[in-house]
Amino acid sequence: MSYDIIERSEVPLTKEDFASDQMVKWCPGCGSHAILASLENVFPKIGYKRENFCVVSGIGCASRFPYYVNTFGFHGIHGRATPIATGVRVSNRHLSVWITAGDGDLMAIGGNHFIHTIRRNVDLNIMLFNNQIYGLTKGQYSPTTPFGQITKTSPYGTIEKPFAVGKLVLAAQGSFFARALDNNPKLMVDVMFEAAKHDGTSVIEILQNCVIFNDGAHKEIADRTTAADKQLILKHGEPMIFGKDRNKGIRLGAKGLEVVTIGENNITEKDILIHDVTQEDSGIHNMLVDMKLPHYPMAFGVIRAVPTPTYDELLEEQIKAAQKSSPIKCVDDLLNSGDTWEI
């Protein structure tokens, strides 16, 4: 368990220990402020020494993140946060590595790295800030922008289908996927903590509001007054119940998931699906990440967390086995191996 191999702080750390001296330069009202606060809250809770955290990013508004956290940090280039973080983790398994990146960074220019990182299951925590727009370049459509949306580069509406982040993660054989909202700090801290505990590539999709270029993109889901009916907050081992009266639930019907009301048509709590994050078959998880308004609530919380061997762990095992069995213990052994002769 990598959660156990990283050295912990002897003295409890606080949120303030993780605040850097840099001025935070996001727009007022940007969802990133809340995400930063959540991360600064969860790091002391995770409990590792400060020097054992490493935050890696690519390019974009979200990628300024490492400058604002007082740990080791690496601000990379566009799309490449995942391979950079992979190199860090494969070199040193005693580091807790976090990626902060936007939907453009991870889904467009970094799309290839994203799926391959997930497939390898390198032990990394990826926070994908999904605001469905390019913010730093001022308002062009992204790979998650809804079909038909008018943006600066789609003045007649986009004619591209957006990526569904969760479905992509599952298709790439992701071992962990969670969804959170930038206006629900408690949920963010909870899923970040679960991501840290999970061995492997943990992807957290955070629905984030860009106040300047895509304000209100998630409003219908995020609006606190109606959230209870539109959000299904999943918890492992608990029935999938939601609604302001806690009487709505998700049932597995003949054609997939169905929203039912407990107490109507002989439906009881027993008919409601129990959430199991560890289910290897991704069928139900796939249906959960695909749930959309208005027919369904949107699923939040940890959707999938299946124990899976990590790339860095398997590599370490191969190295240890080779060191035990190989006659080549040092480079001199290698240089003198095979066919040699004296002159």
Q: Which residues bind other proteins (CB under 8 A)?
A: 20, 22, 49-52, 54, 56-57, 59, 66-67, 70-77, 80, 82-92, 94-95, 112-113, 116, 315, 318-319, 321-323, 325-326, 328-332, 334-336, 338-343
**How near is the Cβ of 341 to other proteins at its closest, in Å?**
6
Which residue lies nearer to other proteins by CB, 159 or 330?
Answer: 330
With a CB cutoff of 8 Å and minimum separation 6, the contacts of 97 are: 54, 55, 56, 85, 88, 89, 123, 124, 125
Q: Mapped to the 3 state alphabet, what secondary structure does 168-220 carry?
A: HHHHCCCCEEEEEECCCHHHHHHHHHHHHHCCCCEEEEEECCECCCECCCCHH
- Output the six-digit token pair for 170: 């599952």
b/e 300-336 (16+ beta carbons within 10 angstroms → b): bbbbbbbebebbbbeeeeeeeeeeeeeeeeeeeeeee
**How near is the Cβ of 102 to other proteins at its closest, in Å?**
16
Which residue lies nearer to other proteins by CB, 190 or 312?
Answer: 312
**How near is the Cβ of 60 to other proteins at its closest, in Å?**
13
Which residue lies nearer to other proteins by CB, 91 or 265?
Answer: 91
Which residue lies nearer to other proteins by CB, 67 or 193?
Answer: 67
Which residue lies nearer to other proteins by CB, 220 or 317?
Answer: 317
Query: Is there a contact between 48 and 226 (Cβ–Cβ < 8 Å)?
Result: no
* Spatial distance between the Cα atoms of 209 and 224, rounded to a whole number of angstroms: 14
With a CB cutoff of 8 Å and minimum separation 6, the contacts of 287 are: 256, 257
Which residue lies nearer to other proteins by CB, 1 or 322?
Answer: 322
Which residue lies nearer to other proteins by CB, 292 or 320?
Answer: 320
**How near is the Cβ of 13 to other proteins at its closest, in Å?**
12
Neighbours of 96 (CB within 10 A): 21
Query: Is there a contact between 114 and 128 (Cβ–Cβ < 8 Å)?
Result: no
Which residue lies nearer to other proteins by CB, 48 or 141?
Answer: 48
Q: What is the DSSP string of 236-265?
A: TTSB-EESTTS-EEEEEETTEEEEEETTST
**How near is the Cβ of 73 to other proteins at its closest, in Å?**
4
**How near is the Cβ of 83 to other proteins at its closest, in Å?**
4
* Spatial distance between the Cα atoms of 49 and 8, rounded to a whole number of angstroms: 5
